[in-house]
Amino acid sequence: MQIIRSVQEMQALAYELRSKGQIIGLVPTMGALHEGHLSLIRLAAERADAVVVTIFVNPTQFAPNEDFNKYPRELEADVAKCAGAGADYVFAPTHEEIYPKGYSTYITEEHVAKPLEGVSRPTHFRGVTTVVAKLFNICRPDIAVFGQKDAQQVAVIQKMVADLNFPVDIVVGPTLREADGLAMSSRNRYLTPTQRQEALAISQALFKARDMVAAGERRKDRLVAEATHILSQQRRIRVIYVALVDRRTMEPVREVEPGNAVLAIAVWMEETRLIDNIVL
């Protein structure tokens, strides 16, 4: 497996792979890789001839008060994990490669990015769309794999790809969970054992909603009320939102239309922000 640090080298490689007719699969990450990421790499390896994993902690998607500085950086361990999961290349650029001095161009999706995460993190998706568009231009993928764990990120990127005619198929990998239900996330490592225990309420709330829908419940009010009730039992959790939304537009829906609705949750577990969701 090869590690690439410069944009120029990555673009030359992408050109060479494409001219040989190889299908390029891209898995964009910020590193601190866990099994959830590795499942996305395996998914890319099933569908592409050459798998490129990008590792870049993207400063533009963090607000000044967020965890950019403390976000875990462990390139060596990540590279070994990528190799084990079937990646062919790791593109790990420096900050200056992606945002050279004087950088001033940004991409903003103006609809899907607005609710939910967009309310409390108004500049977050501008950073995500900008860096993902750049990674598409640098790595020239045929497919790009993202995790359903970040449901709104998936919807925003799908909209950007459609609106800007990127010739990239977006593949969505399922959320991987720990045995007790907690969705895998690089931020779980910030949790103390007590916080981690209380955080189980998030997946319990989602699973309860799934069970209610299986039993015939469709109404947003009932599903959101029950999920909120489960979260409110935990002293350390502060709910940011519990919302039933359309999985593509992120607009609120009043009833579940099976397969098209997402119940999305964001909470503060004391100083750690956690998100999770379930497609209903």
Residue 147: CB minimum distance to ligand PAF, A:
7
Nearer to ligand PAF, 48 or 53 (CB): 53
Residue 242: CB minimum distance to ligand PAF, A:
22
Nearer to ligand PAF, 26 or 224 (CB): 26
Q: Find all residues with CB under 8 Å of 101, minimum gap 6, and list them.
A: none
**Angstrom distance (rounded) from CA 151 to CA 276:** 8
CA 212 to chain centre: 26
Binding site for ligand PAF (CB under 6 A): 28-30, 58, 61, 128, 131-132, 150, 153
The verdict on whether 37 is a catalytic residue reads yes
Nearer to ligand PAF, 85 or 230 (CB): 85
CB–CB of 149/29 below 8 Å?
A: no
Residue type, 234: Q
**Angstrom distance (rounded) from CA 146 to CA 268:** 24
**Angstrom distance (rounded) from CA 18 to CA 269:** 45
Nearer to ligand PAF, 61 or 234 (CB): 61
Q: Find all residues with CB under 8 Å of 157, minimum gap 6, and list them.
A: 128, 129, 132, 144, 146, 170
CA 222 to chain centre: 28
Residue type, 232: S
Nearer to ligand PAF, 117 or 142 (CB): 117
DSSP secondary structure of 225-265: HHHHHHHHT-TTEEEEEEEEEETTT--B-SB--TTTEEEEE
Nearer to ligand PAF, 28 or 86 (CB): 28
Residue 246: CB minimum distance to ligand PAF, A:
21
Residue 172: CB minimum distance to ligand PAF, A:
12
- From the candidates 34, 37, 95, 124, give the one annotated as an active-site residue: 37
Residue 185: CB minimum distance to ligand PAF, A:
10
Place of tokens 């598409």: 136
**Angstrom distance (rounded) from CA 169 to CA 144:** 6
CA 195 to chain centre: 22
**Angstrom distance (rounded) from CA 164 to CA 231:** 39
Residue 152: CB minimum distance to ligand PAF, A:
11
Task: Give the catalytic positions in this structure.
Answer: 37
